[in-house]
Amino acid sequence: MKTIRTEEMNWQDIQEAIQKGYKTLVVAVGSIEQHGPHLPTITDTLIGDSLVNEIVKKIGNALQGPTIRIGCSKHHLSFPGTITLSTETFKAVVTDYAESVTKHGFENLVFIPSHGGNFVALEEVINDLKKKLTDVEIFGYTDLYGFLDILTSYSIEAGKTQEEAGAHAGENETSLMLALAEELVMKDRLIPGFIEKFTEKEVEIIFEKGMKALTDNGVLGDPRRASAKDGKIYFEKLADFLATEVSKMIN
Ligand SMILES: [Zn+2]
């Protein structure tokens, strides 16, 4: 096959692929939101789209569905460029997406969120859909801390502090973007943001009052020591981990 992305294929090739055993569709669920002065608003969507492409190649017999580009980003709205869906709309988009997919013979539909704000809503809507849809098995990787653990464990290995690696547009996300789309990173604007301990209290502040309550420039972490080399390693570790998790789900 020339491509594993259904959006680049025609319906006949998709049908043929399903008949040949490509029974799993994997979909990234990203966001369009501010990522500090140095990263583009497409960051989460771009990382998720690239990750899912790699996951699909690793698990085999699977195709990549169109990435859901806009997610739940209400807490970033005070920064220009952020576009958000309400939780209700987000769940409706995922529901309609899943209902469309049930018509064509896929056996498994897997959603992979690449933006923290999507995890809870995605888990809730998937649980609803599990009861509702009978023709296709629906899954999601919705353990935010499992996802973050993979990033953190490599940050520590690479000699970076957790505060620096950051929860948003810090060292790890910037490294990922340097590896995936270096031309979109503004290297002359790598400025630290909130670099204190990031605990449940900070998460609460962000979701209640918005990102500006914690960081003026929209960054949680310090991107200055980010590198494409480390970004490639973060990417491989995430892709390996998620491919294993997806294989476990569907088998
Ligand atoms: Zn992000």
Q: CA-CA distance, 218 to 155, in Å (whole number)?
A: 21
Q: Would you call 50 exposed, middle or buried from its count of C-beta atoms within 10 A (0-12, 13-18, 19+)? A: buried
Q: Beta 108-113 vs 137-140: how paired, if at all? A: parallel
47 C-alpha to center of ligand 1: Å?
8
62 Cα–ligand 1 center, Å: 26
Instruction: Give the Å distance between the CA of 98 and the centre of ligand 1.
Output: 24
pLDDT digits (tens, 9 = 90+) for 57-80: 999 999 999 999 999 999 999 999
Phi-psi region of 112 (alpha: psi -120 to 50; beta: other; left: phi over 0): beta
* Distance from Cα 169 to the centre of ligand 1, integer Å: 6
Model pLDDT, residue 1: 86
What is the pTM (predicted TM-score) of this model?
0.96
Separation of CA 107 and ligand 1 centre (Å): 30
Compute, in angstroms, the gap from residue 32 CA to the centroid of ligand 1: 9
Tokens describing residue 179: 């590896």
Distance 117 CA to ligand 1 centre (A): 9
Strand, coil or helix: 112: strand
* pLDDT at res. 170: 97
**The 62-64 sheet, strands edge to edge:** 62-64, 24-29, 108-113, 137-140
Task: Give the pLDDT confidence of 196-241 residue by residue, as tens digits.
Answer: 988 889 989 998 999 999 999 999 999 999 999 999 999 999 999 9
pLDDT score for 250: 96
Task: Decide: 67 and 30 in contact? Cβ < 8 Å.
Answer: yes
Closest among 174, 144, 102 to 242, alpha carbons compared: 144
Show the tokens assigned to 233: 């390693």
Question: What domains lie within the chain, and their CATH numbers?
Answer: 6-246 (3.40.50.10310)
Distance CA 14, CA 25 (A): 11
